[in-house]
Amino acid sequence: MRILLCGDVMGRSGRDIVIGNLPRLRRELELDFVVVNGENAAHGFGITEEICRDLYQAGCDVITGGNHSWDKKEIVSYISGDPRLLRPVNFPPGTPGNGFGIYALPDGRKILVVNAMGRLFMDALDDPFRAVDAALRQHPLGAVDAILVDFHADATSEKMAMGQFCDGRASAVIGTHSHVPTGDCQILAKGTGYQTDAGMCGDYDSVIGMKKEAVIARFVTKMAGERPQVADGEGTLCAVFVETDTATGLARHIAPLRLGARLRPAWPVPIRETASVR
């Protein structure tokens, strides 16, 4: 199975670069499933029903969230009726929506997508390790053909710990939230694909997607000042490509994907293409 996870979509620049490229990415990479982290898609804070529809129409299969999942109040009533829009699984019982879902491909294969949120330097939530463990025990590889975990967390140590915790039980664990793509894309010892952070889909001539001046002023003066606004320059798409083994559901290939204005481009070469080049 070929899976793509697009990192945090930041405002209009992020939406434009993702929506504009998803049809081509699905076609050229022969993608089976696309996940987009959309918690910053609405001008940096939350997501709306309209943005969900636009992402689905472009070729997104599932949208994951994080600490900004509830910033748009209308999403509270919407999320329970949209099984493809996830929020972190470790929100307390009774929270609207779902933290994971099983999705069927047209050929009958099934993928489990789990969205979890870290606790270091983040809002106080239930234990993400316990919540992810429960989802993986309930729907293990074999019962489903692939498992993708989007771990929305701040601390690199917590993200790495989640990757190792899931090693051998998930196809891939990919971090989001930091808005900076990390260089540690790898397959762990027991076969789980891993990258600490997929990066951001948005304007990288910024401070993690926000216009530079107001953010710099906050650091320099230590005063709140004006509220930072989303940077609206040309966007860059950052994502992670995963190819799973048909027999085990574990990763046999993982690679970064970067398209757009500022960062060095990176294009994943699927295994069949790699073999043909050799």
Rg (CA), the chain: 18
pLDDT of residue 277: 30
pLDDT of residue 276: 34
Helices (H), 128-171: 128-138, 156-166
255: number of CA atoms within 13 Å, CB side?
Answer: 15
Q: What is the mean pLDDT of residues 155-177?
A: 98
Q: Is the pLDDT of residue 272 over 80?
A: no
Asked whether the beta carbons of 266 and 258 are under 8 A apart, the reply is: yes
Which residues are marked as active site?
68
Q: Is the pLDDT of residue 141 over 50?
A: yes
Domain boundaries, the chain: 2-277
pTM of the model: 0.94
Helices (H), 82-149: 128-138
CA dist 237 and 239 (Å) reads 7
pLDDT of residue 197: 98
Q: Is the pLDDT of residue 218 over 70?
A: yes
pLDDT of residue 225: 76
* Per-residue buried b or exposed e for 176-189, using 16+ beta carbons within 10 Å of the residue's own CB: bbbbebbeebebbe
According to CATH, the topology of domain 2-277 is Purple Acid Phosphatase; chain A, domain 2 (3.60.21)
Give the residues across from 201 on adjacent strands: 9
